[in-house]
Amino acid sequence: MKTLKLEREAGIARVILSRPESYNALSFEMAEELAEVGVVLAKDEAVRVLVITGEGKAFCSGGDLRWVEDFAGGPASAFHKLAGRFHNAVVEIRRMPKPVIAAVNGVAAGAGFTLALACDFRIMARSARYLQAYTSAGLSIDGGGTFILPRLVGLSRALEIAAFDRPISAEQALAWGLATEVASDGEALERAMAMARDLIQRSLHSFGQVKRLMLESFHTPFETQLEREREAISLCGGHPDGREGIRAFLEKRKPVFK
């Protein structure tokens, strides 16, 4: 891969956005590689948790507007092409039945902001910040931001973020539910890896079922959601993780999930 680095460590995969010279701006090639690696890691049984971070000073500075400006078909065609690939990557992250953690080591702007929001958990360095960025460039938000952001912070605050595009500090992000944890500078990846090591000790089969159910709940009638919950808990009850969890509870010990 030319724009990403993939590292593995005992059940944890690290995907590193690697265009530090442009603060990891999202090019078409990066979007394509991010979608492709998402497909591979989702099916890789040796990978139980995915961590996404950026190389250098930034997480991701947004879409590569130089690539957009130079695109032969013009900006409209460029954005249509780039957003299509970026959305493929976001869908893979959202559908992945494994925990996905963003280690936001520096600025996450535009597509970097929405990429972080697409992850299940977000560890932000204390000096890192979010910038919505799209509307300041006369653009609309993509990457699932218009779906995820109002569900995290509410419609009124999401519209405020869209209208004024004020920088969002790590502490503010934590207060608004846009960050899971704030880490000391230089330690966002380390804290994300600690979270990943904690997660791999837990039942990721049950996590995958709950993640799917929660995502489906936004567009599922209540009675249908109840039936899906019934099916999922039945499935979990017959799974080795469920059997181990029940036995551990009855035997008053900590479960050991495989």
Residue of 87, 97, 167, 104 whose CA lies nearest to 132:
167
Cβ-contact 69, 30 below 8 angstroms? no
* Residue 258 pLDDT > 90: no
Query: Which tokens go with 180?
Result: 């899971």
For residue 3, which amino acid is it? T
Cβ-contact 201, 257 below 8 angstroms? yes
Structure confidence by residue, pLDDT tens digits, 125-156: 999 999 999 999 999 999 999 999 999 999 99
pLDDT band at 216 (very low <50, low <70, confident <90, very high): very high
The pLDDT of residue 205: 94
The pLDDT of residue 32: 96
Give 63's DSSP letter: B
What is the distance between the alpha carbons of residues 130 and 152, in angstroms, rounded to a whole number? 14
Percent of the chain with pLDDT over 70: 100
Based on the number of CB atoms within 10 Å of its own CB, is 181 exposed (0-12), middle (13-18) or buried (19 or more)? Answer: middle
* Residue 159 pLDDT > 90: yes
Based on the number of CB atoms within 10 Å of its own CB, is 251 exposed (0-12), middle (13-18) or buried (19 or more)? Answer: exposed
Structure confidence by residue, pLDDT tens digits, 91-118: 999 999 999 999 999 999 999 999 999 9
Q: Report the CATH superfamily, name and number, of domain 4-199.
A: 2-enoyl-CoA Hydratase; Chain A, domain 1 (3.90.226.10)
* Close Cβ partners of 67 (under 8 Å, ≥ 6 residues apart): 27, 28, 78, 82
* Close Cβ partners of 241 (under 8 Å, ≥ 6 residues apart): 203, 205, 206, 255, 257, 258
Q: What mean pLDDT do residues 46-66 have?
A: 96
Q: What mean pLDDT do residues 15-34 have?
A: 97
Report in angstroms the alpha-carbon separations of 185 from 58, 105, 120. Answer: 12, 8, 21
pLDDT band at 24 (very low <50, low <70, confident <90, very high): very high
* Residue 85 pLDDT > 90: yes
For residue 137, the SS3 value is: helix
* Residue 88 pLDDT > 90: yes
**Tokens 């500075």 correspond to what residue?**
61
What is the distance between the alpha carbons of residues 191 and 51, in angstroms, rounded to a whole number? 11
For residue 181, the SS3 value is: strand
For residue 229, the SS3 value is: helix
Q: What mean pLDDT do residues 6-34 have?
A: 96
How confident is the prediction for the chain on average, in pLDDT? 96
